[in-house]
Amino acid sequence: MSEAETIITLENVYKIFGPNPRGRAFDLCSSGVGKDEVQRQTGHVVGMKDISFEVKKGEIFVVMGLSGSGKSTAIRTVNKLHEVTHGRVIVEGTDVQQLRGAALQSFRREKLAMVFQHFALFPHRNIIDNTAYGLKVQGVDKPKRQAAAIEALAMVGLEAYAFNSTRELSGGMQQRVGLARALCSNPDILLMDEAFSALDPLIRRQMQDELMAIQDKVHKTILFITHDLNEALRMGSRICILRDGLVIQIGTPEEILTEPADGYVAEFVQDVDQGRVIDVGKVMHDAVILDPTSTLTQCVDALGDRRGGFVVDADNRPTGMLSLTDAATALAHGTTDLGSVLRSDFDTTTPGARFNENYAAAGRGQPIAVVDESGRLIGELEPREIMEEMGRVEQLVDGFEREVFL
Ligand SMILES: Nc1ncnc2c1ncn2[C@@H]1O[C@H](COP(=O)(O)OP(=O)(O)OP(=O)(O)O)[C@@H](O)[C@H]1O
Ligand SMILES: [Mg+2]
């Protein structure tokens, strides 16, 4: 698979707030002095320090961090709501900081759309006009922009409300209109700053699901900001974690959870079920395939250090599972016949499945067959391996915790 095209690049971006951002505050900050100390010495606030990341076409790139870590500042450099102090911001080959006047305006209108936490609707306009507002500003004629607005409202499930007043909308519906407005002008890029953070948990999850379903159809490039790790893990293709204006880690949800870069990240991840992001494929082993004509003793030898093996049919589909514990019990009772000890009620999973989908199977204590989409045996996973991998991650996180608190 070829590497996806880069749509947004931040290159060593600094943003310092204050009357003289490029003066001593910048010198201190760039020579490694921390945010609090820079503020103490100069009265300037470090918003972003040497931030670099790339957002690839079609991905949901999540920027996550505590309040004040620089998330909003970072997203605002992308549409030049902020001028950067140092560094470059490139969007689809355009050096955004160089844009001015009409060029900046048309860049903002055509290339990207923004959705905020509190989406402001015009109370005196109905929903379709609110949705089509961006196109109106662009001078698109009424039939065209209304058609686009209906299409966008349909994507968020609100087409039936197109001609209703905005006063009748719940918070969740308002955010939907916000999303529809953003989608309406068909931009390449969506910038979403805590777009779902004000919603209650159930509605919030619905909106996350809906955005992901929409994304599967429209393939936008989405820069998504949240302070919520669970949201980041659900939505993110990759996640960038900020602290005090610094990038602490960039990685896939799995990398963030299983290889946290430091104690700050570990603190975020400690309450999350790592099993949600660890793939079976990462931990599975080759399966031992047993010869159905061999004796039980020969089968036990063939298992080696594995706790189970499989008998397969002509298409390599598993038809029976021998577990080491069953074999040992049978041998102790003098049974030597493989057929009588084989189980047909074994669990199966796929390499793309997550650990947490296999907890129930793991709880039964038996080896699990890993099969491909045609049901062919491609590996085996054992409950102890699920526990070991989870334990490894936990120890890592515990280690960081000690580091943080000592
Ligand atoms: N216009 C501004 N003037 C001065 N300081 C600012 C300005 N905007 C942001 N800051 C400071 O920059 C830092 C980063 O702020 P930013 O708004 O980017 O944080 P955030 O991660 O979005 O936080 P939140 O989760 O609260 O939205 C903070 O210390 C903030 O006080
Ligand atoms: Mg913010």
Residue nearest to atom 7 of ligand 1 (CA): 17
Residue-wise over 306-336: b if at least 16 C-beta within 10 A, else e? Answer: bbbbbbbeeebbbebbbbbebbeebeeeeee
Ligand nearest to the CA of 35: 1
Instruction: Give the DSSP H or E segment for 91.
Output: strand 86-91
Q: Give the model confidence (pLDDT) of 21-79 as tens digits.
A: 999 999 999 999 999 999 999 999 999 999 999 999 999 999 999 999 999 999 999 99
What's the gap in Å between 51 CA and the centre of ligand 2?
16
Tell me, using a 6 A CB cutoff, whether residue 68 lines ligand 1. yes
Check whether 356 has a pLDDT greater than 90.
no
Q: Which atom of ligand 1 is nearest to the CA of 76?
A: 18
Check whether 101 has a pLDDT greater than 90.
yes
Tell me, using a 6 A CB cutoff, whether residue 320 lines ligand 1. no
Ligand nearest to the CA of 47: 1
Q: What pLDDT does 198 receive?
A: 86
Residue nearest to atom 10 of ligand 1 (CA): 47
What's the gap in Å between 78 CA and the centre of ligand 2?
14
Nearest to 189 by CA among 100, 93, 103: 93
Residue nearest to atom 4 of ligand 1 (CA): 17
What's the gap in Å between 228 CA and the centre of ligand 2?
12
What's the gap in Å between 83 CA and the centre of ligand 1?
14
pTM of the predicted structure, to 2 decimals: 0.82
CA distance 205 to 68: 24
All structural domains of the chain, each given as residue ranges with its CATH number in brackets, are 6-251 (3.40.50.300), 280-388 (3.10.580.10)
What's the gap in Å between 194 CA and the centre of ligand 2?
7
Provide mean pLDDT across the span 103-125. 87
Provide the residues around ligand 2 (an ion) whose CB is within 5 A: 71-72
Tell me, using a 6 A CB cutoff, whether residue 69 lines ligand 1. yes
Q: Give the model confidence (pLDDT) of 13-22 as tens digits.
A: 999 999 999 9
CA distance 159 to 116: 21
What's the gap in Å between 35 CA and the centre of ligand 2?
17
Instruction: Please report which confidence band the pLDDT of residue 406 belongs to, taking 50, 70 and 90 as the band edges.
Output: very low
Tell me, using a 6 A CB cutoff, whether residue 65 lines ligand 1. yes
Q: Give the model confidence (pLDDT) of 258-315 as tens digits.
A: 888 988 888 878 777 778 888 899 889 999 999 999 999 999 999 999 999 999 999 9
* Mean model confidence pLDDT for the chain: 91
% of the chain with per-residue pLDDT over 70: 97
What's the gap in Å between 301 CA and the centre of ligand 1?
64
Angstrom distances, CA of residue 113 to CA of 78, 109, 162, 293, 317: 11, 7, 20, 66, 49
Provide mean pLDDT across the span 182-209. 92
Check whether 4 has a pLDDT greater than 50.
yes
- Ligand 1: residue of 20, 71, 192, 242 to mutate (most ligand atoms within 8 A of CB) is 71
Provide mean pLDDT across the span 250-260. 91
Q: What pLDDT does 85 receive?
A: 97
